[in-house]
Amino acid sequence: MNQNLATTLFPEWTTTPPKFLRTINKVIRRRPLRFRLERAVDGRIDMTTIEQRVHLMELLTVVVQYEVAGDVVELGTFEGKTAVLLTRVLQELGSPKKLHVYDAFDVGYFLGEEADVLALLRQNFAGAGARLPEIHKGYFEQTLPAELPETVCFAHLDVGIGPHPDRHKGVMLKCLESIYPRLAPGGICLLMDYNDGSFSDVADGHPGVRQATDEFLLNKPEKAVTLYGGQGAMGYFRKSGMPAPQKAVEREHMAVR
Ligand SMILES: C[S@@+](CC[C@H](N)C(=O)[O-])C[C@H]1O[C@@H](n2cnc3c(N)ncnc32)[C@H](O)[C@@H]1O
C-alpha cells in the first residue's frame, strides 16, 4: 500500500514544511541541538494527523488481506476526507467491499454554519478519483443500527463535535452498541481520539471516547489498544473469535523470509 496517500490526497495533508522552516531545520537538526520544526496540527481544520491516516490505511489493509467478512463503515464523516482515504485504499487493493458513511452533515466546523457539507463531500470524492460511498444522512439515533450493513469488517468511529465530554461519551456508546454485534470476528473498530495518556505530550481533548470505550468493553473479551497518533490520539480493538485465515498467514511468513 502506497502510504503517500496519507500526505498527498488533499493539499492540506502535505508534510513538506515551507522553505524558511527547512532552512532553520538544516541548522538545528545538527548536534548538539538535534531538533526539527514542523507544522502544528490545527485540530479544528486538519481533523487528522498523518500518523492517524497511516493507521487507517494499514488496519483497513489488514482486514482486507485477512479476508475478514463484511463491509466498511465510517461513523462521523463530515466532508469526507478520511472516507476518501478509506475508499482509495479499497480501490488500490482491488477490494469489492463497500464503504457506508453515517453523519447528520449539519455541522460546518471551519466551513461555517451555511456550508453544504454533503456537496463538499461529493466534490472531495470526485476530486480524488474515489467512488462515492453509500451515504446515510441523519442522526445516529435514527440511522443506527437499522441502516448498518449486516456484517462489518472495519469501522472508523470519529464523532467529536466539540468540548462536551458527556455528550461525546453518549454518542460513542450509541455507536459502539450498534457496531459491536455486527463486527465480524477479526474485524477492527478504529477509535479516533482514544487517549489513555500513553503519550504524555498529547492532550486529551476528547475524554468521552476513552470513557465510553473502556466502559463498553469492560464485560467483553476485547480491550482497546492505544496507537501512536503523532500530535493526535487514536486507538482500536479487534473483535475476537477467529484465527487468521491460512492464506494470509502464509503470505505474511513469505514476506519475512
Ligand atoms: C470530527 S467530524 C468527522 C471528521 C472526518 N472523519 C474526517 O476526518 O474527515 C465528526 C462528525 O460526527 C458527526 N456527528 C457527531 N455526532 C453525531 C450524531 N449524533 N449523529 C450524526 N452525526 C454526528 C458530525 O456531524 C461531524 O461531521
Residue 176 lies in a domain: yes
Residue 110: phi, psi to the nearest 5? -70, -10
Residue-range definition of the domain harbouring residue 51: 42-256
The tens digit of pLDDT for each residue in 20-49 reads 999 999 999 999 999 989 888 887 788 899
Q: Tell me, what's the pLDDT at 139?
A: 97
Q: Is the pLDDT confidence value at 162 over 80?
A: no
Which residues neighbour 197 within 8 Å (Cβ) at sequence distance 6 or greater? 204
Residue 214 lies in a domain: yes
Residue 140 lies in a domain: yes
Ligand 1, residues 46, 52, 77, 79: which to mutate, most atoms within 8 A of Cβ? 77
Characterize 22-41 residue by residue with b for buried, 16 or more Cβ atoms within 10 angstroms of its Cβ, and e for exposed.
eeeeeeeeeeeeeeeeeeeb
Q: How many Å lie between the centroid of ligand 1 and the Cα of residue 76?
A: 3
User: How many domains is the chain partitioned into structurally?
Assistant: 1
Residue 106 lies in a domain: yes
Cis peptide bond N-terminal to 207, omega within 30: no
CATH number at residue 92: 3.40.50.150
What global pTM score does this model have? 0.93
Q: Tell me, what's the pLDDT at 243?
A: 52
Give the pLDDT band (50/70/90) at residue 255. Answer: low
* Closest Cα to atom 16 of ligand 1: 159
Give ligand 1 pocket residues (Cβ under 6 A).
Answer: 47-48, 76-78, 81-82, 103-104, 107, 139-140, 158-161, 171
The tens digit of pLDDT for each residue in 85-109 reads 999 999 999 999 999 999 999 988 8
Residue 31 lies in a domain: no
Angle at the Cα of 216 from the Cα atoms of 174 and 151, rounded to 5 degrees: 60
Q: How many Å lie between the centroid of ligand 1 and the Cα of residue 139?
A: 10
Q: Tell me the sheet residues that pair with 97.
A: none
Residue 9 lies in a domain: no
Residue 26 lies in a domain: no
Q: How many Å lie between the centroid of ligand 1 and the Cα of residue 251?
A: 37
Gyration radius (Cα) of the chain, Å: 19
Q: Crossing angle, helix 117-127 and helix 81-93, to 10 degrees? A: 30
* Closest Cα to atom 1 of ligand 1: 160
Q: How many Å lie between the centroid of ligand 1 and the Cα of residue 77?
A: 5
Residue 205 lies in a domain: yes
The tens digit of pLDDT for each residue in 56-88 reads 999 999 999 999 999 999 999 999 999 999 999
